[in-house]
Amino acid sequence: MKKVLPNFFLRSKQAGFTLIELLVVIGILAVLLAITLIAINPARQFAQANNTQRASDVSAILNAVHQYMADNNGVPPAGITNAVLNISDTGANLCADLVTTYLAALPRDPQAAVAGSVAEADCAGAYDTGYTIVSSVANNRITVAAPTAELGASISATR
């Protein structure tokens, strides 16, 4: 009598995938990975996060300047002129006027060479925030800007 084997025993000799099947699956996974990376675009996400930080910093600096002006009968800090100046120790030196009274520390641009912020202890030394400030001659309005904004954005605030 001939012994009949179940179907799965017959296929076990052919178990596995062919090379073409494996290449097709790898190709599909590569396409899905590429689509995912394009959709997420980490470089763009980081640039947008930096621009959001810049907008927050510009607003904080402008608010501090206006609080200073409110406390000093509308007179802006001495470092602000009608020329566009960097907020730094060699430009519009606002650190001594604003830090600790109106700001805990002067914020720095996220892409600045030195990360972090300018604390009161740093006011005596060299610093550069990466932001600019200017006072309008016509109407005494003050504009703080982030000239190094990414993705072609223009970040400034005027009050």
pTM for this model (two decimals): 0.79
Whether residue 86 lies inside any domain: the answer is yes
Whether residue 36 lies inside any domain: the answer is no
Whether residue 123 lies inside any domain: the answer is yes
The CA-to-CA distance between both ends of the chain, in Å, stands at 100
CA angle 39–43–46, rounded 5-degree value: 110
Res 7: pLDDT: 60
Res 144: pLDDT: 97
Domain that holds residue 139: 42-158
For residue 35, the surrounding DSSP H or E stretch is helix 19-40
Whether residue 97 lies inside any domain: the answer is yes
Res 14: pLDDT: 61
How many distinct structural domains can be found in the chain?
Answer: 1
Whether residue 132 lies inside any domain: the answer is yes
Whether residue 74 lies inside any domain: the answer is yes
Candidates 105, 113, 106; CA nearest to 91 is 106
Chain centroid to CA 154: 13
Whether residue 93 lies inside any domain: the answer is yes
pLDDT per residue of the chain (159 residues) written in tens, 0 to 9 = 666 655 655 555 567 889 999 999 999 999 999 999 888 899 999 999 999 999 999 999 999 999 999 999 999 999 999 999 999 999 999 999 999 999 999 999 998 877 678 888 888 889 999 999 999 999 989 999 999 999 999 999 999
Candidates 116, 130, 127; CA nearest to 89 is 127
Instruction: Give 116's contacts (C-beta < 8 A, 6+ positions apart).
Output: 108
Whether residue 7 lies inside any domain: the answer is no
